[in-house]
């Protein structure tokens, strides 16, 4: 009898707790969701966003009285949730972190509200925003649909000390052949250190972000201007084979699963001497507690047939068209992308953590220049990135490391599976690209003029 009584009391107790808790949860929810002075923001969990979340209550909410409820998710998850939310205009979130990839076609579908009010505000100073971003976030109708939170291009990061010890110098604008050469020479410079770290993880935004820039500078392209797929063309193939060979010979272990974080880890732990990736990585490498602070040199994204090859990317704020709190949302966006916010971060967390890469004034700020030794390289990379003309031939759609069509996410990810397999040594580049060509042509056919 006793065990049953215990079980019954346990169950009853749990029920009471649950009911009272649900009452609390429900009550709390009602207040914040329906409250006109609160907005909901859905964003990716990059460090800059996490800092934003940290600083909101004490600053934005205090000043304006608007409470911000955040939902933070990893990139793939947040993309999925954003796509579902915005395509159905569910109205659960007022603001979301989108990129210069989605904003053009999301706005074309009418899912976003224009941010002209924010841009028109002189305090916001839209002219201070790098023109490349303003252009890439403008919709077909000429209205601005996104405000950048931070921007990045890509460049080559290398260990100055390791190269010096070997008597090597890295030119400011290296070619890929030079980089491969140096990688071979510094491979194994320290125990466990590899020559270079390059992404290999499947995903259109993982391996194909750097790889597409390599394809561009080798003279290849995903589609020619008539939407003929060029995935297994000689130049594209050459580029992918070069990349695969470099990674397999002098790249990190487990390259087929290595994404941004793995390479960041490797670089920070001195497991690699060079790394070609996003300029935003430099902030983490030059942070206070980074083991390699001060040891990194920065060179432009390696080229071959073009004069530049860095990509262009920005995580931006976009407002859902179905949002019922557009005024409050606009205030939030104006604050998060403002100069004041950058200075706030600088004073609270240091200049290296500022969400940079979007404002000219930041680059010209001497304190930022001191804390971010990479600022010149970064600014040069961003200003020389041309989404309309990134390679050796005309393109049918904008985008440097992506093709600005909705189908590219699936296409790029699809083809990347084969490339990752090749990097893992389980399949040939030729096969991967042959399959990729088929898939790409299907997409191209959809866009060809009848």
Count of residues engaged in binding other proteins, rule: CB under 8 A? 90
Residues between 405 and 444 that touch other proteins (CB under 8 A):
406-407, 409-410, 413-414, 416-417, 420-421, 424-426
Q: Using an 8 Å Cβ cutoff, are 317 and 337 in contact? A: yes
98's enclosing H/E stretch is strand 95-99
Sign of CA dihedral 427, 430, 431, 433: positive
The alpha-helical segments, DSSP class H, found in 189-233 are: 208-217
| DSSP one-letter string for 369-390 | HHH-TTHHHHHHHHHT--TTS-
Least CB distance from residue 404 to other proteins, whole Å? 12
Give 264 or 333: the residue with its C-beta nearer to other proteins: 264
Does residue 393 belong to the site contacting other proteins (CB under 8 A)? no
Please tell me the distance from the alpha carbon of residue 362 to that of residue 266, in angstroms, as a whole number.
29
Least CB distance from residue 333 to other proteins, whole Å? 17
Radius of gyration of the chain (CA): 24
Binding residue for other proteins, selected from 64, 70, 175, 184, defined by CB under 8 A = 70
Q: x/- string (CB under 8 A) for other proteins, residues 254-283?
A: xxxx-xxxx-xxx-xx-x--------xx--
Please tell me the distance from the alpha carbon of residue 245 to that of residue 257, in angstroms, as a whole number.
16
Least CB distance from residue 189 to other proteins, whole Å? 16
Question: Which of left, alpha, beta for 89 (phi over 0: left; psi -120 to 50: alpha)?
Answer: left
Binding residue for other proteins, selected from 83, 175, 369, 428, defined by CB under 8 A = 83
Binding residue for other proteins, selected from 35, 59, 64, 81, defined by CB under 8 A = 81
152's enclosing H/E stretch is strand 147-152
Least CB distance from residue 230 to other proteins, whole Å? 21
Q: Which range, of 82-90, 118-126, 132-140, 299-307, touches other proteins by CB under 8 A?
A: 82-90
Does residue 59 belong to the site contacting other proteins (CB under 8 A)? no
Does residue 394 belong to the site contacting other proteins (CB under 8 A)? no
Give 75 or 330: the residue with its C-beta nearer to other proteins: 75
Give 175 or 413: the residue with its C-beta nearer to other proteins: 413
Least CB distance from residue 238 to other proteins, whole Å? 23
Does residue 284 belong to the site contacting other proteins (CB under 8 A)? yes
Q: Which range, of 68-76, 122-130, 136-144, 213-221, touches other proteins by CB under 8 A?
A: 68-76
Please tell me the distance from the alpha carbon of residue 444 to that of residue 438, in angstroms, as a whole number.
10
Please tell me the distance from the alpha carbon of residue 203 to that of residue 334, in angstroms, as a whole number.
32
Phi, psi dihedrals of residue 122, rounded to the nearest 5°? -65, -30
Q: Using an 8 Å Cβ cutoff, are 96 and 82 in contact? A: yes
Q: Which residue has the tokens 């050459």?
A: 238
HEC profile of 140-188 = CCCCECCEEEEEECEEEEEEHHHHHHCCCCCCCCCEHHHHHHHHHHHCC
Residues between 151 and 180 that touch other proteins (CB under 8 A):
none
Give 42 or 115: the residue with its C-beta nearer to other proteins: 42
Does residue 17 belong to the site contacting other proteins (CB under 8 A)? yes
Does residue 37 belong to the site contacting other proteins (CB under 8 A)? no
Residues between 89 and 148 that touch other proteins (CB under 8 A):
90, 92-93, 105, 109
Q: For residue 210, what are its two tokens?
A: 């750097």
Residues between 201 and 240 that touch other proteins (CB under 8 A):
201-203
| DSSP one-letter string for 406-431 | TTHHHHHHHHHHHHHHHHTTSS-HHH
Does residue 74 belong to the site contacting other proteins (CB under 8 A)? yes
């Amino acid at each position: 009898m006793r065990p049953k009584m215990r079980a019954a009391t346990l169950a009853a107790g749990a029920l009471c707790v649950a009911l009272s808790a649900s009452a609390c949860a429900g009550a709390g929810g009602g207040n914040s969701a329906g409250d006109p002075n609160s907005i909901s923001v859905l964003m990716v969990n990059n460090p800059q966003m996490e800092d934003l979340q940290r600083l909101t209550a004490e600053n934005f909410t205090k000043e304006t009285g608007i409470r911000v409820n955040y939902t933070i998710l990893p990139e793939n998850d947040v993309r999925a949730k954003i796509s579902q939310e915005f395509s159905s205009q569910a109205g659960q979130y007022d603001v979301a972190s989108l990129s210069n990839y989605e904003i053009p076609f999301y706005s074309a579908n009418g899912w976003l509200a224009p941010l002209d009010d924010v841009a028109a505000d002189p305090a916001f100073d839209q002219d201070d925003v790098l023109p490349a971003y303003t252009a890439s976030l403008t919709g077909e109708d000429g209205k601005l649909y996104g405000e950048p939170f931070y921007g990045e291009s890509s460049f080559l990061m290398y260990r100055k000390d390791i190269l010096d010890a070997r008597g090597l110098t890295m030119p400011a604008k290296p070619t890929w052949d030079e980089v491969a050469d140096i990688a071979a020479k510094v491979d194994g410079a320290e125990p466990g250190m590899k020559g270079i770290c390059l992404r290999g993880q499947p995903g259109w935004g993982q391996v194909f972000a750097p790889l597409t820039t390599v394809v561009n500078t080798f003279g290849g392209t995903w589609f020619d201007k008539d939407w003929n797929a060029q995935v297994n063309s000689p130049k594209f193939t050459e580029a992918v084979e070069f990349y695969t060979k470099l990674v397999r010979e002098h790249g990190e272990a487990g390259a087929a699963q290595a994404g941004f974080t793995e390479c960041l880890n490797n670089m920070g732990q001195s497991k690699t001497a060079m790394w070609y990736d996003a300029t935003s990585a430099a902030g983490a490498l030059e942070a206070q507690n980074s083991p390699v602070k001060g040891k990194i040199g920065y060179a432009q994204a390696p080229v071959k047939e073009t004069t530049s090859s860095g990509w262009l990317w920005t995580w931006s704020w976009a407002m859902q068209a179905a949002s019922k709190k557009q005024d409050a949302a606009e205030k939030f966006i104006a604050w998060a992308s403002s100069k004041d916010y950058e200075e706030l971060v600088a004073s609270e967390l240091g200049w290296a953590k500022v969400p940079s890469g979007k404002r000219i004034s930041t680059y010209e700020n001497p304190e930022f220049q001191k804390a971010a030794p990479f600022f010149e390289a970064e600014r040069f990379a961003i200003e020389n990135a041309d989404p309309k003309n990134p390679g050796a031939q005309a393109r049918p759609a904008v985008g440097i490391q992506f093709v600005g069509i909705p189908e590219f996410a699936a296409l790029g990810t699809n083809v990347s599976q084969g490339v990752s397999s090749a990097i893992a040594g389980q399949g040939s580049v030729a096969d991967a690209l042959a399959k990729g060509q088929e898939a790409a042509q299907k997409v191209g056919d959809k866009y060809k003029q009848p």
